[in-house]
Structure 1
Amino acid sequence: MALTPQTRQPLPGDSARFKQARLLLRGMVTQSMDFASATFDDTITRLRKHLFELADHSESSVRASHWLSAYNLLGRQGEVFKRSFLNSLRATLDEQAEAPLRPRSESLLAAGGLSLVDTAEQDRAVLLDRVSRPINAFYEEEVAPLTHRCGVLFGDDDPQLARNPVRPEVFLRAFMQGWEMAGLDSHATEDLLLSITPQTFFPLDVLYDALDRTLVKAGVAPKLQLRVRKARDTGVMPPSAFRQTQGGPSDDAKTMLWRQLNEEQQANLDSRDWGGAGFQDSILRIGQSAKEFLGKLSNMLRRPLFTGDSESAAALLPQPDPQFVGFLNSLQARALDEPQPIVVGDVDEVPVPENMLRAMAESDRVKEAAELDRGTVEVLAQVFDYVFSEISIPSQLKVVISRLQIPVLKAAMIDREFFFKQEHPARKLVDSLARASVAWAPEKGEDDPLYAQIEKTVQRVLSDFQEDLSLFTELLEEFERFLFESEQQVAARIEPQANDAATNEQFELALRTADECVHSRMAGREIDALLTPFLTNQWREVLAHAWLNRERRPDVWDRAVETMDQLIWSVKPKATPEDRRQLVSVLPTMVRHINVALDAIRWTGDERAAFTRRLIETHTRVVRAGVAETPADPMLQQAEEAAASSAREALEARRANVNGSLEDQYDEQAHGLSRNTWFDFIADDGSERRYRLSWVSPMRTRLLFTNREGFDAFVHSERDVARLLRTGRLRPVDVEPIVARALGALLGEDASDILNGSAQAGGPAATH
């Protein structure tokens, strides 16, 4: 028997619902990613065992080879596939989390109901549907309540599995895309997907149970009214029966650990004062009132209260309640006494930051506070929700930064311009710490100078801040001085590589100039087959060196070009005695210049000797025009003509590569990158590291990437970077001011109006 939803609870306005739905969806995505990471290894172990058994009993040699290939690749390339799968799952979950927030008709259209897709994409959709159908049926009882709560969250009158952002098909799609992105055996893709069963895939009932309880704690339809309908006969053993007979995948060590971590998070939720108000009266109310509060505060701060007085509107607002400030001081002192978070290598043990302001917002102490203070708490709770959901900040440093919640709240109450002024000292410090945090790697540990400096800064705030905002300015200057000194050290480390790259770029530019010069001489002319390879290779290098020195020795460039012109002329037939006499007079000087130039580029050996011999033979033939000579070797002529043709093609290919236009948005993105942009980079071996763009050459043909300390350097061209962006191996990390991003996410389309003090009259932001 299966359960389906019958009714749903009404929701307040769409704007508030969607804002809070987005916050909860971000949490669901994070929770799902943690689950997938914790249970991945055990899932692959079960799947590999199943693949081996299938191959061993298969009557089809083709399928058996595909299953064995997948078995071996999942063993040898397991880490590569894991990273690809998790990256794909993150992108898929992010996409699915946004889809239900669009209008229903738009979501259905985007799902492909009326769109045109190519045959390959249709085949993929059919394959995913075929594989997901039995897994959907297997988890129907577990997923039905979650689908219903998601429907309440999105305001759907008729909740459907297709609108559940964590349905089984999402994990299967990420599994298929991860396999393809990892570059594993493409021929085995279909048979690999078809081999997946509910018993060999992720134990999704564990995830669905945890997510359902999370939504219940947030007040999303805590009491479901469900009716029973007969389930389809899927031919699949029910989950409960399977676990009774097999022990179940949920009993694996990592799955149990993930269960334990989730239960601890749920216990933490249980301990908070949610006020029993339910979803509409708590989470949604907090979000909507936060937005209304910002609108009111914006108008209050910008309303001309009087004229002829220099005192600001902010100074005229009510001061924080002393008793409430005393309560905050006690919380700040408690945070100062708390032990520091332990940084460990095991991802399962990474600490989770707690949003104290979120719990405070629903406490009686805050509910009894003045409206300005209460509103400040609610909005800052939303801001720190965003900070803690930012995946680019390591969890360990989120915990450290989380200890700033109370001091920042006090600072925002002292100066109410916190939400509207990016130059607010407390806000700038939070932005600076968050931006710097993306550069820290957990494997560096607590002894890393960056971690230590961030922790030291937070400790100073906790111990010293009472009401003087200048402390934030002082600490910000100190922290930025630390960052500047670190940057100076990095600049010194990368200087030799940057200088080498700049020199190589200059020489590459000189070679391009030489190519154009040679091309202009060869275009539309019959050039002797002997000269074409020489001019497009050795003499090209001579011209490039001359061009590099053109400012200091312009005569060298002029002589190199003149010598090239003389050489081309010298091998052409001379019809008159005067031309032949002129050739004889020119040859000594021309040959001397050629030899000096070739010595300078160190072209020696048999190849140069052979060229010189052939050049002498050609000049002799031209000077002795009309005198009977031994016919040229036809085999030699044929070889020279082939070499000349290849040299011309190589020249045109180089010119085409240089003069090519930008191909797509990734080329444009690469062209617009600037120094100090941070990236997550997936190396050839599948490992993922965080690097920054530390140096860009003047012509943007060399982009130097390093880690935070300036080591592990590697250089790519702009086109290489575009290719890496296109394939997802290089992903920019957002380091824009995080408070502004959080407020923008909270306010949505109204952000500009409210934060710039132009809330529309008559709306919630304009009512007092």
Structure 2
Amino acid sequence: MDTIPLNTAKKSEFSSSSRLLLLQSLVPIATNLVSSQLEAFASRLTQALFVVSDQTVRPEEAGSSFLAYQLLKRNPGSFYKILTSQINAVLTKEVSVVNTRKKAKATVEGQDFSLVSFEEMENKVLTNNLSNALEVNNADQLVALNIRIGHVLRRTPISVSQNPFRPELFVSAVTQAWSEFESSKETQHLVLRLLQPELFLQLNSVYQGLNDALIERGILVDIDNAKREDKKRLMRTRQNDLDLQDPYLENKLRNIFSVSKQDEKNERETSFNSTYAADQERDFAEGRASLGDTNSWSDAPQEQSYTRGKSAETVTIDREFFNYLTGLQRSQASAETPRDSTHLRQLSQNASATELTHIDQNTIELLARIFDYVFNDTSIPDEIKSLIGQLQIPTLKVALMDKDFFFKDNHPARVLIDTLAKSSVFFSGDASSEDPLFQMIEGIVEKVQQDFDQQIDLFSDVVADLEAFLKEEEQTAEQSIVEPVALALKQEKMRLAREFAENDVAIRVETGEVAGFLEEFLLDQWIRILTIAHNVKEEKPNALENALRTMDDLIWSLKPKNSSEERKELVSKLPSMLTLLNAWLNAIKWDEPQRVLFFSKLAERHAAIARAPLELSPRRQLEIAVNIAQRASEKRLNRHVQDQHEHIPDECVQMVEGLERGVWVDFTTSAGVTTRFKLAWVSPKRTRYIFTNRQGHDSFSISSEELVTQFRSGGAVQISAASVVDRALVEALRDPPG
């Protein structure tokens, strides 16, 4: 059985295998804590079943509940055994994957019940309700456990849905155990209805025990401070992130697009607005066009009153200027627009724009600043900037029509610019006109230039087309890394096996009772044997048990034997132990001269033990005990210092651990050549990463340590995926247009 010593878990200094070992050590604790409650739990459930059978007015329910009552009362031991096994299995499975993925909690509202029966649907609802109630009832202990497990995993505090000991799992184990104990669907549904928090397992003591166990293992966290930090983190939305860059962002936008009360009064007195519903046909006949249910044209230039959040705001736009923009857009469809926003600003100086309101003038200037930022972004290839530049007039028309372009990051036109800017990350260096993606982007820009008038949904359509293209390309790329992924999985499995093997040897060496030459042998050779045993333990579980037992017997054989019985036992064990020892060494093909020397020293030490006096003086016994304690202290101190050195907090380590599939990284060789690759795959334990180009070619696998080293040295640089319009807007509003 894999174990972890209590004194090896120090704060956040864990390797991947140590984290897994630590969490695995909690499973038997939780199982035992539940087992101690089973008699009381079964008694409560038995009583509840009897009450139902006695009080229900439905004969079939009375019969099934009475049969279930009798079955549980007569066979409590079988139920205990099944439930204990289920809980252990469920928790073990969850712990094995908790460090490899983030779970999304499934809610009843989000589930598709269209293809299930009413009974199944009701069971799901009952299970969800019970799980939620247990979460509320055990909130304090559960939150503390979330924080401590998150600390072990070196993440921010995990959510309940990521906790491998969450109430949902205990509910699932109990329902599964009952279905195995009594297969009748009627009683299964009945038991689920009876399982209320007061009748169910008392999980508070379980979570208290798990928290105490983590504290004993050195997981010391300021829970109150962690709760405060987690609350802040959960309340921080994407918009809040922008506000952190510029806390007055929205206020600045409101000021830009607002008018004085006197202006509003004048507008009400002079404005002539035609409504979409009544005058649509006349407007089109006279060359006007409605901009939507809440927008209207004005023959005279009028100012706009805009307040974000209102359901109906009036937007009046000078018809002559808008028609001028439409004509300009169509004339430029076949000509390349300059890759700067100078001509965008010049539009406000055009004769047809002389009567523009200050809001329209501010809109043009703000949009020009946004395009300035895009054109100055060195990460966007010039070819893509030229294509984005051709969207200036259509985007201006959108911004004049709908000021939500500046307020909402999911505005279709804004999403298109962001998507085009982000797509530039796919081009390493210059974008080739022969690249299918470049041709796709070129076609999208052309479509917007030719087809856009007032239908803002057109932007959503072309974004959907581009995303579908990229998804199809990504699926093709995934097929090309099947073999590298298989190889990386083997490498990770072997690496984890090595970490487990090193831990198995370390906890024995740290006792201080292992002879020097034997310690060297274990570190150099037996770790290799244990690595193989751990690697094949799923197919051959006896191999690991055999290798561990042989190591323990070998260590025991070199300890002093101070009684005739111990010496007789040594003589009887030596032949079989040496046979197994040689068999394992043959398996790793250790045929070097050191093997002969090792067995020679081993024989000499065994002979010395057999000849040593049976009785040692108290002084000699004390000397031996002091030497062992001193060696043990030195071993533990050395390992602690080494672990501290290996796990110094490092932002590069945190960056690598936080990398998700799809991010792009620039790798620079020693010759100064930079190539851009996408993170196509991350191993389950995050020990290996596979990068490819966009088409899935030129793939390479790299270990987490190597990747961290690359980031530290500057040989690897992650490409920012933040919204370019968000960043541009923050920058543009540092000095808001007047």
How far residue 442 of structure 1 moved from its aligned partner, in angstroms, is 4.0
For 1:297, the aligned partner's letter is F
Aligned to 1:662: 648
Aligned to 2:144: none
**Other structure's SS at 1:412 match:** helix
| CA 1:443–1:432: 2 relative to 1, 3 Å | closer
1:460 maps to 2:439:
no
Aligned to 1:498: 485
For residues 508 and 441 of structure 1, what CA distance do their matches in structure 2 show? Answer: 33
1:323 maps to 2:283:
no
How far residue 293 of structure 1 moved from its aligned partner, in angstroms, is 6.5
Superposed, 1:319-718 pairs within 5 Å as 319-338=316-335, 353=340, 355-443=342-430, 445-550=432-537, 553-572=540-559, 574=561, 576-600=563-587, 602-607=588-593, 610=596, 613-614=599-600, 617-618=603-604, 621=607, 625=611, 656=642, 660-718=646-704
| CA 1:580–1:460: 2 relative to 1, 3 Å | same
Residues 394 and 452, structure 2, Cα contact 8 Å, conserved in 1 = yes
For residues 664 and 689 of structure 2, what CA distance do their matches in structure 1 show? Answer: 13
For residues 727 and 488 of structure 1, what CA distance do their matches in structure 2 show? Answer: 32
| CA 1:515–1:621: 2 relative to 1, 3 Å | same
For 1:323, the aligned partner's letter is E
For residues 393 and 664 of structure 1, what CA distance do their matches in structure 2 show? Answer: 30
Superposed, 1:165-314 pairs within 5 Å as 295-297=255-257, 313=310
For residues 293 and 738 of structure 1, what CA distance do their matches in structure 2 show? Answer: 18
Shifted more, 611-620 versus 329-338: the winner is 611-620
1:735 maps to 2:695:
no
How far residue 620 of structure 1 moved from its aligned partner, in angstroms, is 6.6
Q: Deviations for 1:580-606, whole angstroms, at most 9, x for unmatched residues?
A: 332232233323433443444x32433
| CA 1:325–1:497: 2 relative to 1, 3 Å | same
For 1:385, the aligned partner's letter is D
Structure 1 vs Structure 2 CA RMSD: 3.9
Structure 2: stretches of 5+ with no match in the other structure: 1-249, 268-292, 295-308, 614-630
For 2:318, the aligned partner's letter is D
| CA 1:339–1:361: 2 relative to 1, 3 Å | closer
For residues 429 and 546 of structure 2, what CA distance do their matches in structure 1 show? Answer: 59
For residues 522 and 641 of structure 2, what CA distance do their matches in structure 1 show? Answer: 15
For residues 506 and 663 of structure 2, what CA distance do their matches in structure 1 show? Answer: 39
| CA 1:489–1:596: 2 relative to 1, 3 Å | farther
For 1:521, the aligned partner's letter is R
For residues 321 and 643 of structure 2, what CA distance do their matches in structure 1 show? Answer: 67
Superposed, 1:28-67 pairs within 5 Å as none
When normalised by structure 1's length, the TM-score is 0.50
How far residue 429 of structure 1 moved from its aligned partner, in angstroms, is 1.0
For residues 311 and 370 of structure 2, what CA distance do their matches in structure 1 show? Answer: 21
Structure 1: stretches of 5+ with no match in the other structure: 1-289, 341-350, 628-644, 751-763
How far residue 715 of structure 1 moved from its aligned partner, in angstroms, is 4.2
For residues 619 and 499 of structure 1, what CA distance do their matches in structure 2 show? Answer: 46
For residues 716 and 652 of structure 1, what CA distance do their matches in structure 2 show? Answer: 29
How far residue 447 of structure 1 moved from its aligned partner, in angstroms, is 0.8
**Other structure's SS at 2:725 match:** helix
Residues 497 and 534, structure 2, Cα contact 8 Å, conserved in 1 = yes
Residues 536 and 651, structure 1, Cα contact 8 Å, conserved in 2 = no
| CA 1:551–1:516: 2 relative to 1, 3 Å | same
Q: Deviations for 1:341-374, whole angstroms, at most 9, x for unmatched residues?
A: xxxxxxxxxx955653133244343343344433
How far residue 407 of structure 1 moved from its aligned partner, in angstroms, is 1.3
Aligned to 1:633: none
How far residue 440 of structure 1 moved from its aligned partner, in angstroms, is 0.9
Q: Deviations for 1:721-764, whole angstroms, at most 9, x for unmatched residues?
A: 444434433333222111111111112399xxxxxxxxxxxxx9
For 2:314, the aligned partner's letter is L
For residues 487 and 692 of structure 2, what CA distance do their matches in structure 1 show? Answer: 15
**Other structure's SS at 1:731 match:** strand
Residues 583 and 623, structure 1, Cα contact 8 Å, conserved in 2 = no
Equivalent residue pairs, number = 427
**Other structure's SS at 1:337 match:** coil
How far residue 615 of structure 1 moved from its aligned partner, in angstroms, is 6.5
Residues 510 and 545, structure 1, Cα contact 8 Å, conserved in 2 = yes
Residues 481 and 696, structure 2, Cα contact 8 Å, conserved in 1 = yes
| CA 1:458–1:655: 2 relative to 1, 3 Å | farther
Aligned to 1:754: none
